[in-house]
Structure 1
């Protein structure tokens, strides 16, 4: 069974049932999944974590695992924002200095 958000899983299967381009076999599978989830028979541990889903969906990894900080943000995206700050002509010198410090603190070489 999918480990995604249970609400999204059910919505996806319901959409499959209404899609004229999907096979009867696929629709039967969707009916079974919906029935299992609605009856509580599904193997659902209830430990859905949206941060985990976000990390999985991006495919961005370092050493096989996506780095996520305590606030749920992906480290590489946050650092990318700071890199962009350094190249933005509209950014103040103060903001660029802060971005440079954050990048250096995280081991990113700054030109």
Structure 2
């Protein structure tokens, strides 16, 4: 189930998408104004919804990405070891 922050983020993205209709953008404006205080929604900090397998996969990808700094790779390695 999406969080309020994700729902508001989707409506904000819709407003900035040049491929959506004006009618769709107006709907997003109304939802943000009526349900989300104009879009001012606190960022979700609940990590309990994250799938540990997906997190581990992302950390492993970081370790194998040549464009990632050594510092970021070390952090990913430490986090991955902490998950085991």
TM-score range, shorter chain: 0.3 to 0.5
Normalization by structure 1: what TM-score? Answer: 0.34
Looking at CA atoms only, which structure, 1 or 2, has the larger radius of gyration? Answer: 1
